[in-house]
Amino acid sequence: MWFRRDLRSFDNAALHAALTHAEHVHCVFVFDREILDALADKSDRRVEFIWESVVELRAALKTLGGSLHVLYDTASAAIPKLAQTLDVDAVFTNHDYEPAAITRDAAVAAAVKTCGIAFETKKDHVIFEKDEVLTGAGKFFSVFTPYKNAWLKRLQAFYVKAYPIEKHKGHFAVDATVEMPSLEAMGFARTNLRTLKFPTGMAGGEKLFSEFLERIDRYDETRNYPSVKGPSYLSTHLRFGTVSIRGLVAAAWQRWQEGSRGAEVWLSELIWHDFYVHILHHNPHVVDRAFKPEYDAIRWSNDPEHFNAWREGRMGYPIVDAAMRQLNQTGYMHNRLRMVAASFLTKDLLIDWRWGERYFAEKLIDFDLSANNGGWQWAASTGCDAQPYFRIFNPLNQSEKFDPDGTFIRKYVPELAKLSNKDIHAPSLMSPVEQQARGFVPGRDYPLPIVDHATARNATLAEFKRALGKQDVLPVHDQ
């Protein structure tokens, strides 16, 4: 059993398949050097999260009577080699839908096949995959709402039933005696993950889920306010499989059926997760090109100074600066603010969405290719089901609406803490009297706006219209 993005010893499709097909199941996890060696920052919260989660997985397998080989190598070489050494009949693992992973898995499958070893993969990361949800014409969905309706129509209790692992625990092999490599041995340093008290592993996922179930009924009301404990905070656990998507969907579905509006909205978010995997599977070109090819004609300004200011959170727009500083300090960004920050980069600064996507990929602890790509293309209006290009987030409106008293801004942009609830959203508009009263000078104590939103918005609209050959007069949609 080859663990990857499914770091749990319960409700695991491939693990269950292996245990029910074999007398002795050897378990392995590989810290894949093809991935790790490419990471420029050796203080990477994701690597530490994985490491901590693997420690817990190893202990959990031991209580079930098994063990876990933990290797630091290239997976494409290590898995075939270990399979031969252990003289196994088959390698079991769960599907990974990213193009690079598909290429890797094909290479591993070919390598073990030459030794007479089967390679079996199972669906575990989504409820429905590949061609399981299609339009009436047998095509993939490119708009979310029809996909969601078809997804819900197909959903039955069978699809969220947990795979029983405990009843098959007698089939584990106990043979992993080598100690797992430390973070330091792999060239990585500890991050602030523990200081942030970020829950890791299966226990962390269970804790967060239990806490969220107590407030899920209010999710629809609280999810857009970054200073409120509204989200589930389970995205990292879903990304690395320390929770089961089936368990999450089953709980949300049941609660919705009991009348919870919050659970209904959260279930939609889980369906978005499946939808973006669906899009990536059917359109692998989205990894580096626009889902809608005509949007590749946009001439982005790509000003490096503007991009650096965006990355560092010093643009003179407090809500966007706070969002970027939250990302840099914690590896997390509230979902509403991901949309605001992405819109600002692409629509106010006219910088290529791929630049922002790559930066999020480096910093987000919950980075998931399909969701990150889908979110960025949505914000840039280049993707499926995208924000129409003439609808542009107004950072001031978003700030006043979703952080009305500036609580979130004060936490991450402390130099603005002494400003009034009104002025904190747009310090550059403070009156001279208010500046003197607060001992605050815009441009000295906090940057002036890097661009004028209205001017930048018009320039962006003009470029999108040029690229798309649009001649019409557009309605005003400044959100």
CA torsion angle for 275, 279, 282, 284 (degrees, to 10)?
A: -140
Which of 85, 94, 73, 72 lies closest to 117 in space, CA to CA? 85
pLDDT of residue 385: 75
Whether 269 is a known active-site residue: answer yes
The type of residue at 172 is: F
pLDDT at 138 exceeding the cut of 60: yes
| Catalytically annotated residue among 353, 372, 378, 394 | 353
Which of 7, 475, 3 lies closest to 241 in space, CA to CA? 7
Q: Which long-range contacts (CB under 8 A, 24 or more apart) does 419-422 make?
A: none
Q: What is the pLDDT of residues 215-248, one digit of tens each?
A: 999 999 999 999 999 999 999 999 999 999 999 9
Domain spanning 293-478, CATH class:
mainly alpha
Q: Which long-range contacts (CB under 8 A, 24 or more apart) does 152-158 make?
A: 152/271, 154/128, 155/127, 155/249, 155/253
CB 351 within 8 A of CB 345: yes
Which of 80, 460, 85 lies closest to 298 in space, CA to CA? 460
Q: Which residues, in sequence order, are CB contacts of 338 under 8 Å at separation 6+?
A: 323, 360, 375, 379
Residue with tokens 């003439």: 390
| Catalytically annotated residue among 192, 328, 335, 397 | 335
pLDDT band per the 50, 70, 90 thresholds, residue 474: low
| Catalytically annotated residue among 34, 221, 269, 434 | 269
> Hey, is 345 helix, strand or coil?
helix
How far is the C-alpha of 158 from the C-alpha of 108, rounded, in Å?
31
pLDDT at 250 exceeding the cut of 60: yes
Q: Write down the domain spans for the chain.
A: 1-123, 126-162+202-282, 293-478
Q: What's the CATH architecture for 1-123?
A: 3-Layer(aba) Sandwich (3.40)
CB 180 within 8 A of CB 70: yes
Length reported for the chain: 479
For every residue of 183-222, DSSP letters joined together read TGGGT----STTTTT---HHHHHHHHHHHHHTTGGGHHHH
CB 25 within 8 A of CB 18: yes
The tally of CA atoms less than 13 A away on the side-chain side of residue 70 is: 23
Q: Give this prediction's pTM.
A: 0.95
Environment class of residue 132 by beta-carbon count within 10 Å: exposed (0-12), middle (13-18) or buried (19+)? middle
CB 266 within 8 A of CB 238: no
CA torsion angle for 108, 111, 116, 117 (degrees, to 10)?
A: -20
Q: What is the pLDDT of residues 95-136, one digit of tens each?
A: 999 999 999 999 999 999 999 999 999 999 999 999 999 999
Question: 452 is written with which tokens?
Answer: 């004028």
Q: What is the pLDDT of residues 425-468, one digit of tens each?
A: 999 999 999 999 999 999 999 999 999 999 999 999 999 999 99
Q: What are phi and psi of 72, to 5 degrees?
A: -120, 100
Using only C-alpha atoms, the chain has a radius of gyration, in whole angstroms, of: 24
| Catalytically annotated residue among 132, 283, 300, 434 | 300
Q: What is the pLDDT of residues 60-70, one digit of tens each?
A: 999 999 999 99
Q: Which long-range contacts (CB under 8 A, 24 or more apart) does 129-137 make?
A: 129/95, 129/97, 129/274, 129/277, 129/278, 129/281, 130/281, 133/274, 133/278
Classify domain 126-162+202-282 by CATH number.
1.25.40.80
User: How high does pLDDT run on average in the chain?
Assistant: 96
Q: How far is CA 197 from CA 21, 46, 118, 132, 330, in A?
A: 40, 14, 42, 39, 10
Whether 151 is a known active-site residue: answer no
pLDDT at 472 exceeding the cut of 80: no
How far is the C-alpha of 238 from the C-alpha of 84, rounded, in Å?
32
pLDDT band per the 50, 70, 90 thresholds, residue 473: low
Task: Determine how many CB atoms are found less than 10 A away from the CB of residue 438.
Answer: 16
Question: 236 is written with which tokens?
Answer: 């990292």
CB 201 within 8 A of CB 53: yes
Whether 310 is a known active-site residue: answer no
Whether 378 is a known active-site residue: answer no
pLDDT at 39 exceeding the cut of 90: yes
Handedness of CA 56, 57, 61, 67 (dihedral sign): negative
Q: What is the CA 458 to chain-centroid distance, rounded?
A: 31
Whether 2 is a known active-site residue: answer no
pLDDT at 386 exceeding the cut of 80: no
Q: What is the pLDDT of residues 264-319, one digit of tens each?
A: 999 999 999 999 999 999 999 999 999 999 999 999 999 999 999 999 999 999 99
How far is the C-alpha of 419 from the C-alpha of 371, rounded, in Å?
36
227 sits in the region (left: phi over 0; alpha: psi -120 to 50; else beta) called: alpha
| Catalytically annotated residue among 2, 253, 272, 378 | 272
Q: What is the pLDDT of residues 161-207, one digit of tens each?
A: 999 999 999 999 998 788 999 999 999 999 999 999 999 999 999 99
